[in-house]
Amino acid sequence: MASKFTELAIDCADPVSLAQFWCAVLGYQVLDEEDGFVTIGSPSVPEGRDRPGPVPPTLGFARVPEGKTIKNRLHIDVNPTDRDQDEEVRRLLDLGARYADVGQGDVSWVTLADPEGNEFCVLATRCP
């Protein structure tokens, strides 16, 4: 059996507020919060990594002293499930995201940054 992707760790200055942003983006909930580290995950699969087979990954936000300085080498792509891309982008901007230019040019996705500047993309397709 191969490994499965269960979590993504994100360094940040304010784990609580960044976790709240991503909970609102993904419909996740806080699973654990302690000592500068917050873990969020899908409420529909609370057993997470203990479940056999694929699971929605959790996101872990760790407080670090240094700030973000360059473009992310790894980023999250999100797919709107119940609205079109433009409506989802407006919703995410209202939550605190902002447009980001990473030299993407004319593409079908929209590049945004979360409140701490981490880039992510909103894809044009709708996946359930």
The answer, as to whether pTM is greater than 0.75, is: yes
pLDDT of residue 46: 62
Q: How far apart are CA 16 and CA 32, in angstroms?
A: 11
pLDDT of residue 26: 95
Q: How far apart are CA 128 and CA 118, in angstroms?
A: 25
Q: How far apart are CA 90 and CA 55, in angstroms?
A: 28
pLDDT of residue 1: 59
pLDDT of residue 117: 94
**Interior/surface letters 69-94, b for 16+ CB within 10 angstroms, e for the rest:** eeeeeeebebebeeeebeebbeebee
Tens place of pLDDT per residue across the chain (128 aa): 578 788 999 999 999 999 999 999 999 999 999 999 999 999 887 665 666 667 789 999 999 988 888 877 889 999 998 899 999 999 999 999 999 988 888 899 999 999 999 999 999 976 65
Maximum alpha-carbon separation in the chain: 42
Comparing C-alpha atoms, which of 10, 45, 9, 8 is closest to residue 115?
10
Angle at Cα 15 formed by Cα 14 and Cα 19, nearest 5°? 120
Q: How far apart are CA 4 and CA 65, in angstroms?
A: 30
- Residue 25 in contact with residue 75, Cβ under 8 Å? no
